[in-house]
Structure 1
Amino acid sequence: MAPTGVRADQQLIADAIAANGLDGLLSARDDLASLVDDEGIHFGTEGGRGWRVDPLPVVLGAEEWARLEAGLQQRARLLSLVLADLYGEQRLLASGAVPAEIVWGHPGFLHQACGVPVPRDRWLPLTATDLGRGEDGRWTVFADRTGTPAGAGYAMANRRLTSRVMGDLHHDARPARLRSYFSAMRAGLQQLSPHDGRTPRGVLLWAGASSETAYEQGFLATLLGYALVEAEDLVLREGRVWVNAPEGRTLVDVILRRVSSELADPLEFRSESQVGIAGLLESTRLGNVVTVNPLGSGVLENPALLALMPSLAPQLLGEELLLPTAQTWWCGDDSGRSHVAAHLDRLLIKPLGRGRGGETRAGWELTTDQRESLLARIEAEPWAWCAQEPLELSTTPLVTDEGVRPARFVLRCFGAQVDHSHEVLAGGLARVAADDRFRISSAEGALSKDVWVLDPEEVAETWTPTFEGGPIAIQRVGRLAPRIADNLYWLGRYVERADGAARLLRRAVDLAGDYGGRPDSRGAQVLGAVLLAGERITGLDLSSGDVGGALTLMRPAIVDQRLPGSVAHAVRKLTRAAHEVPDLMSADLWHVLGQLARTVDDAGHRRDLPGVLDDLLAGTLAVAGINNESLTRDATWAFVDAGMRIERAQRTLGVVLHTLGEDRAAVVEAQLVDAILEFSESLITHRRRSASGEGPRNPAAAAASLLVTDPANPRSAAFQVARLADDLRIAGDEELAAALSGLALTSADMEVLIEGPRRDFAHFVAAQLKELRAFSDDLVRRHLTRSAPRRAMLAGWGEGEDT
């Protein structure tokens, strides 16, 4: 303890508080919030997806961490042995060391998984442990997370952001790095592969972007180099799991699952599950695929087992438990039940499984009636309940508007088995109580903190990439499942849809400012034509029949996210599509999408619609640029680009059809040509060619040639079709690419068509547009058709459900 009363390993935090002051720390907190938004970090379901990071890290000294790490490694070994016994010989149950009711009554115990082998007896490849530090400095375990351990990705994200915002502090502290843990995790997963002689192929199975930890799952897939898949992307044939794609199937060796065990196989477990793979358990039983963690491992997330850990450690390991567990009483034991009944108002009451009986209850928060009701439930099913002594937690500095105050915190640590040991993430994920409530939960608004392990020897890595079994190499699944291709395709379409609508509306806003109040002017006729084209393309009412009201209706067409056809709606849809395939997106994309989201949110309060549109266009251009410059030219890029090309070609043909497809006065048409060429990004080329005498002299013919048939103009329909054919060849569909040659976009003479009856010109453009839409439908049928929802079979899970 230093003379100041601050522990030596906490002195750098005290110095940082003094050096930054409250204003500096609040500024750092705001910077972190902006970075969280920029990178799209979120937790929870849509509508409550906040993630908050405090700028001051939790600091652990080297000696403290060494003791904690040894205890976590021991605990991982112990839990692995317990799990092996529960699904194997069940000696612990036979001897009474573990009461059978604790296991059989837990929703995480899946009897169908008994006897299913695991590779190399690695029963628990990944672990997460929740701990609290008491006021005496001792760490105590109060929960294990073994089913689908979550949080390591958030810990890595917190480190990346905190080290940027608190750069000087990070430089001075030199905390142990985190990346070696993920290298160890990847190596450990590779070692589990059931097939020798080739590079393992791994996937991360998730329930989709609506999952509360969707951000972490995408981030983790990127760190590991795994493909992010849903159940519909996979198929089971001949006892093996494959990624199913139109061009063929790819065998899967390792499945890192983020779908709970009971939902992972609707054939064996919950038949109504839409997120599982029918037959997955049988495939693992045959040794054809490995699931991590094994199906049924969630049985260890059992509060009743906590009380047994001190006695199980000597029995299974031959050593005493290093990390104490929170004092726990199982109500299935008479003495335990009596203690709980007598001290209910001082205990935390927990159901045996998180899915049974509701959430944890703090006895002191219950009314008299609620306590009596709970005691009645415990008496009715005593085996289904536990009680736990609440921990008196130590505190950590928390930055608030009023100042830096002490706040209670809990720590989640993570382990990964590699070679013959468990690698522990140096630090973990700290969660801090945002208020005086006892419960600390991310779902209830708890803040998070980075956790720094100080190492006086400055050892940068705790694990080196050498192990029995060869070099680290996980082969990413190459073919794209229809769901993935579908999201990529619509990402491209919505980027272009937002961009095209914003360009048209920007020119319309400009015209409305000049001519909206002069409905009899030629400029108002041009405005009406542009608005009518916009209405027919977007499906929105833009007041083409009354140009005086155009500005009023154009605002929702720009900013209303709920309005299909609006710019904001397209931005929201492209963001959703990106979140469905986060493992394929550039890290820079999330910053741009965050800026776009803020622009949309702020747009409703801004008076300068042209400025809003400029900002939106800057965002859509950035998205297109990132995709164009960051995506490898494989099927991933091909489907994004194909979506952009089809959308742009259809919009361009639609603009030409609805503006130049009818007769107008020459002076009006000349102004209209300038307007459509401007929002089609072709006006400069048109002027340059006109000045040099190139192309048709008729402005409408020149515009039609430039926008429809010119193969050199990157905005023309012909150019889009040529690029689309290239995309399809990259995606492996030569047949569909060849079908594009049937379009007459490059061979038609626009000058002849324009100077003839306009209805013939309109008929030609409409026919090309119809053919392009039919081609788009054909592409969707061949490559993007997703699996229909599985038909739920009869099931009776839980009380009161119909069967």
Structure 2
Amino acid sequence: MSAAVSIETGVLDEYRARLGADAVDELVTSDGLRSDQAALGAAVNAMGMGGLQAARAEARTFASDEGVTYGTERRGSRNWAIDPIPVLIGAAEWQALETGLRRRANLLDLVLTDVYGERNLMRRRVIPPEVILGHDGYIRQTDGIGAPGRRQLVVAATDLGRDATGQWTVISDRTQAPSGPGYAMATRRIISRVMAGLHRSTPLARLRGFFQTFSASLQDASPTATEPPRVVLLTPGPGSETAFEQAYLATLLGFPLVEADDLVMQKGKVWLRAGDRLEEVDVILRRVDAAYSDPLELRGDSQLGIPGLIEAARTRNVAVVNPVGAGVLENPGLVAHLNAAARALLGEDLALPMPPTWWCGDDASRSHVLANLGHLVLKPISRSSGPLRYGWLLTAAERADLAAAIAAEPWAWCGQEPMQLSTAPVVTRSGLEPRRFVLRTFGVAHDDDYHYLPGGLGRVAARVGEYTVSNFTGALAKDVWVISSEADQPSVGRARRLGLPPVTRAYGLSPRVADNLYWMGRYAERAEGTARLLKVVDDFAEDNSSRTGTPGARATEILLDAVAWVTVTGAIRHDESSLTYLRRAVLDATRTGTVRHCANQVTNAAQHVRDLLSVDTWSVIGRLQQTLAETPDDDDQLQPVLADVLESLLALAGIMAQSMVRDESWAFLDAGCRMERAQMTLALLARTVTADRGREVDDLVVEGVLRAGESIITHRRRAAAGTGPTVALESAVDLLLLDRVNPRSVLYQAESLAADLSLLGDEASAARALRLSNELGEVDIADLLRPDRLAVRLAALEQEFRGLSDDLAARHFLRQAPRRAQTSGWGNPWQVTDGD
């Protein structure tokens, strides 16, 4: 810790008074500010608690708007919580820390290589075999598999904390499938806006270069000479706690996010399903836990992995990063033996200290642990054995039970001296509070060394006095700033094998991705079309609900019936008013077809393709969801809700139309919009304008239909100018069915669909859509307006569009069947013989 400087009276003076006499803090000391924290301290004091609390609220708003989340619906998903005060690390301090981290990563790589290779460390009992073989991260099926690159451990993450002396100390390593670098960048993006002035004036080491190096590191891991290698990020899916981070990381790296359904194993190789073709995969960045990664070799019930992945890695047909089995390095039992391993492999001790740790498989160490249960942290070496225990928090009975468990399986336990951990200020409603602080650092292997993200991801405990700093317990994120001189340059990875000419390799869309894009487009359009219709019908109901027997009341009944038919929300109940029914059609999330249900489906589909969408998409979706979650006090306030819903949906449509490259992603999304608009328009026309109910009623109904179809102004303008029909029914059929230049007409949707399908290379479906548009273009409206003809034609057209949608699904959205493990009837391998 650096020397202190004086501190002016203000919020930090009050904060310092809350610290204990021997506390170590990231910002202040008992005498004032740390010397390298002067600018930050001045900014915090200048903002005062009012400004800091406003910054805290702004950070929460940005996280919500950008859809930065952690957790699952089942376990309680929440927006990513960020404290606005960054943690600063000086340039010299970070350089020393990074040097220690590199040495540690190099050692862990050597240990991993030895554990799954020659096993000299275990043979010589530098590391007792029980520590490795008794850990659930040791995957026997991967024994002898060496990654094709020079490193086995490609991605290394280490959790650090300051001890009571202010020295950075290792808490644990994360090597199985480390999470967090994406969250670090997302946190930086938000804090750079919340603390914009301070961020601009502080010379910081930038983060972007790390992700460029990360991308190059993954390409270096490829076992093939293909240029560039095809790299994918394998995710468990949107149900993962860190789903946002995985998608964001894929975006930062420029590689596609894939699920198991997107990949197949053929001829011993992994292939990406891209439409009607397969594309070979060279490198998989794995975010699926090891046990689930290969249902053929490991957990047979897994739907998250790829059958045969381990064998493909063994035959060097694909590289898996980090390799299946790297989780063995997360073993806390290793901590007691790592310095011995460092001396054996590197001829030196590790630079970064670790808390004194005793592995209970050793008799003397076990005796020490059992004698000191009351003040040690007790850790099972495998996470599957349960959480760590703080001995001083256990009752006498609980300590006795724990002692018995250690005596029964001593190799499975270790005891560790507790760390004090430094604190960092957290903005709360009652002022600044000191919370325990943990820093997670991230390194990637590239060329001859490991390269680290400057700073990493900081986290502070959810509550004052909380010992565990974990996302599971509600920890808050901290942006970590590393001070850098202007001369410092970011670490950027070189391109691989520069002597070879580069080959462009575009990534195709898997059926899962195409399906979700298509249905995201459909549900977005369905939500918009439903909201427009409900807005019109709500106007009618408000004007005519008390005027029983009038043409307006009859027109309202017809339009209410159309709502039930077009949106499939169900008919109005006998015991509810029309306004209550319309409110339900907007806000009921449990009923299919409501606006809120459609909005939820948009969100669900978008989560599956998050890596393909602009970050602005999430602020729009978040605003849409917030609007629908804020239930109005009474039915009379439905119009403002619908107006806000339409505003969000129009913003979403604008992002799609103006921000997306016209590639396959856009084509599937737009095709979904066009298909839904065509089918909704046909259903609305079929339910409203195909029966004769009297001129006065029909005129009102048709006016409502034109308003719902955003064509009423065009009808009136054309009628007044003599360029269009004066009869409302004829104008509605013309504008909403046959008008080639009206973006709301069915003919326009058919022509747009043909263009989308041509872009996809689906010429058969494109030709079908084009035939449909040509037939519509040749329709004689006078012949069509005969009541018996219009209903038949609309039904036929609706059937045509449904058939076209079914063809699309069959051609592009076919998923793989769920996998089921087939178990052998043999009980033991020696029962299998080569003889007859």
Q: TM-score, normalised by structure 1?
A: 0.96
| SS of aligned partner of 2:157 | strand
Aligned to 2:751: 722
- Looking at structure 2, the residues matched to 532 and 466 of structure 1 have their Cα atoms a distance apart, in angstroms, of 64
RMSD (Å), alpha carbons: 1.8
One-letter code of the match for 1:693? Answer: G
Paired residues, number: 791
Deviation, 1:519, is: 2.1
2:89 is equivalent to residue 95 of structure 1: no
- Looking at structure 2, the residues matched to 724 and 43 of structure 1 have their Cα atoms a distance apart, in angstroms, of 37
Aligned to 2:12: none
**Alpha-carbon distance change, 465 to 96 in structure 1, aligned in 2, over 3 angstroms:** closer
Aligned to 1:745: 776
- Looking at structure 1, the residues matched to 798 and 127 of structure 2 have their Cα atoms a distance apart, in angstroms, of 71
Checking the alignment, whether the CA contact within 8 Å between 1:144 and 1:300 is kept in structure 2 is yes
2:205 is equivalent to residue 143 of structure 1: no
| SS of aligned partner of 1:121 | coil
Deviation, 1:772, is: 1.4
Checking the alignment, whether the CA contact within 8 Å between 1:559 and 1:568 is kept in structure 2 is yes
- Bigger drift between 599-608 and 702-711 goes to 599-608
Deviation track 1:371-415 (CA, whole Å, cap 9, x = no partner) reads: 222222221111111122111011111111111122211110000
2:416 is equivalent to residue 399 of structure 1: no
Aligned to 2:803: 774
One-letter code of the match for 1:553? Answer: Y
Deviation, 1:731, is: 1.0
Deviation track 1:666-697 (CA, whole Å, cap 9, x = no partner) reads: 12111211111111011111112212223444
Deviation, 1:361, is: 1.6
| SS of aligned partner of 2:78 | coil
Aligned to 2:313: 284
Deviation, 1:598, is: 1.1
2:5 is equivalent to residue 2 of structure 1: yes
| SS of aligned partner of 1:608 | helix
| Selected match of 1:29 from 56, 76, 82 | 56
**Alpha-carbon distance change, 740 to 215 in structure 1, aligned in 2, over 3 angstroms:** same
Aligned to 1:382: 410
Deviation, 1:272, is: 1.2
Aligned to 2:583: 555
**Alpha-carbon distance change, 421 to 474 in structure 1, aligned in 2, over 3 angstroms:** farther
- Looking at structure 2, the residues matched to 514 and 222 of structure 1 have their Cα atoms a distance apart, in angstroms, of 50
Checking the alignment, whether the CA contact within 8 Å between 1:239 and 1:282 is kept in structure 2 is yes
Checking the alignment, whether the CA contact within 8 Å between 2:160 and 2:171 is kept in structure 1 is yes
2:400 is equivalent to residue 372 of structure 1: yes
| Selected match of 1:584 from 605, 612, 616 | 612
Aligned to 1:799: none
- Looking at structure 2, the residues matched to 718 and 460 of structure 1 have their Cα atoms a distance apart, in angstroms, of 59
Aligned to 1:39: 66
| SS of aligned partner of 2:313 | helix
| Selected match of 2:538 from 486, 489, 509 | 509
| Selected match of 2:189 from 139, 155, 160 | 160
2:521 is equivalent to residue 492 of structure 1: yes
Aligned to 1:438: 467
**Alpha-carbon distance change, 184 to 476 in structure 1, aligned in 2, over 3 angstroms:** same
One-letter code of the match for 1:577? Answer: A
Deviation, 1:367, is: 2.0
Aligned to 1:800: none
Deviation track 1:637-669 (CA, whole Å, cap 9, x = no partner) reads: 111011111100000000100000111111211
Deviation, 1:793, is: 4.0
- Looking at structure 1, the residues matched to 824 and 704 of structure 2 have their Cα atoms a distance apart, in angstroms, of 62
- Looking at structure 2, the residues matched to 557 and 11 of structure 1 have their Cα atoms a distance apart, in angstroms, of 57
Aligned to 2:722: 693
| SS of aligned partner of 1:56 | strand
- Looking at structure 1, the residues matched to 647 and 128 of structure 2 have their Cα atoms a distance apart, in angstroms, of 64
Matches within 5 A, 1:281-680: 281-354=310-383, 356-435=384-463, 436-455=465-484, 457-466=485-494, 469-470=497-498, 477-541=506-570, 543=572, 549-605=577-633, 608-680=637-709
| SS of aligned partner of 1:624 | helix
| Selected match of 2:44 from 17, 21, 42 | 17
Deviation track 1:204-261 (CA, whole Å, cap 9, x = no partner) reads: 0001001000000000000011111001100111111111133211111111110012
Residue identity over aligned pairs, in percent, reads 47
2:215 is equivalent to residue 186 of structure 1: yes
| SS of aligned partner of 1:519 | coil
Deviation, 1:742, is: 4.7
- Looking at structure 2, the residues matched to 176 and 513 of structure 1 have their Cα atoms a distance apart, in angstroms, of 60
- Looking at structure 2, the residues matched to 627 and 589 of structure 1 have their Cα atoms a distance apart, in angstroms, of 9
- Looking at structure 1, the residues matched to 704 and 488 of structure 2 have their Cα atoms a distance apart, in angstroms, of 60
One-letter code of the match for 1:749? Answer: D
One-letter code of the match for 1:12? Answer: A
Checking the alignment, whether the CA contact within 8 Å between 1:142 and 1:306 is kept in structure 2 is no
2:77 is equivalent to residue 48 of structure 1: yes
One-letter code of the match for 2:288? Answer: V
Deviation track 1:338-365 (CA, whole Å, cap 9, x = no partner) reads: 11211112121211111x2111121222
| Selected match of 2:262 from 233, 246, 270 | 233
**Which ranges of 4 or more aligned residues in structure 1 deviate by more than 6 Å?**
471-476
| SS of aligned partner of 1:412 | strand
- Looking at structure 2, the residues matched to 638 and 489 of structure 1 have their Cα atoms a distance apart, in angstroms, of 8
Checking the alignment, whether the CA contact within 8 Å between 2:342 and 2:348 is kept in structure 1 is yes
- Looking at structure 2, the residues matched to 544 and 111 of structure 1 have their Cα atoms a distance apart, in angstroms, of 62
**Alpha-carbon distance change, 475 to 382 in structure 1, aligned in 2, over 3 angstroms:** farther
Checking the alignment, whether the CA contact within 8 Å between 2:361 and 2:412 is kept in structure 1 is yes
Checking the alignment, whether the CA contact within 8 Å between 1:203 and 1:255 is kept in structure 2 is yes
Deviation, 1:462, is: 3.0
Aligned to 2:292: 263
| SS of aligned partner of 2:776 | coil
Deviation, 1:542, is: 5.2
| SS of aligned partner of 1:119 | coil
> Where do 5+ consecutive residues of structure 2 fail to align?
8-31, 826-836
| SS of aligned partner of 1:54 | strand
Deviation track 1:253-273 (CA, whole Å, cap 9, x = no partner) reads: 111110012211111111111
Q: TM-score, normalised by structure 2?
A: 0.92
- Bigger drift between 264-273 and 5-14 goes to 5-14
Deviation, 1:497, is: 0.6
One-letter code of the match for 1:122? Answer: R
One-letter code of the match for 2:337? Answer: L
One-letter code of the match for 1:557? Answer: A
> Where do 5+ consecutive residues of structure 1 fail to align?
797-803
Checking the alignment, whether the CA contact within 8 Å between 1:542 and 1:550 is kept in structure 2 is no
Checking the alignment, whether the CA contact within 8 Å between 2:270 and 2:281 is kept in structure 1 is yes
- Looking at structure 1, the residues matched to 724 and 385 of structure 2 have their Cα atoms a distance apart, in angstroms, of 77
| SS of aligned partner of 1:350 | strand
Deviation, 1:453, is: 0.8
- Looking at structure 2, the residues matched to 500 and 254 of structure 1 have their Cα atoms a distance apart, in angstroms, of 43
- Looking at structure 2, the residues matched to 774 and 99 of structure 1 have their Cα atoms a distance apart, in angstroms, of 65
| SS of aligned partner of 2:5 | coil
| Selected match of 1:252 from 272, 281, 287 | 281
Deviation, 1:477, is: 5.0
- Looking at structure 2, the residues matched to 315 and 586 of structure 1 have their Cα atoms a distance apart, in angstroms, of 50
Checking the alignment, whether the CA contact within 8 Å between 1:586 and 1:627 is kept in structure 2 is no
| SS of aligned partner of 1:732 | coil
- Looking at structure 1, the residues matched to 641 and 417 of structure 2 have their Cα atoms a distance apart, in angstroms, of 56
- Bigger drift between 761-770 and 153-162 goes to 761-770
**Alpha-carbon distance change, 266 to 691 in structure 1, aligned in 2, over 3 angstroms:** same
- Looking at structure 1, the residues matched to 260 and 824 of structure 2 have their Cα atoms a distance apart, in angstroms, of 20
Checking the alignment, whether the CA contact within 8 Å between 1:202 and 1:475 is kept in structure 2 is no
- Bigger drift between 43-52 and 220-229 goes to 43-52
Aligned to 2:303: 274
Checking the alignment, whether the CA contact within 8 Å between 1:347 and 1:389 is kept in structure 2 is yes
- Looking at structure 2, the residues matched to 129 and 667 of structure 1 have their Cα atoms a distance apart, in angstroms, of 75
Checking the alignment, whether the CA contact within 8 Å between 2:294 and 2:310 is kept in structure 1 is yes
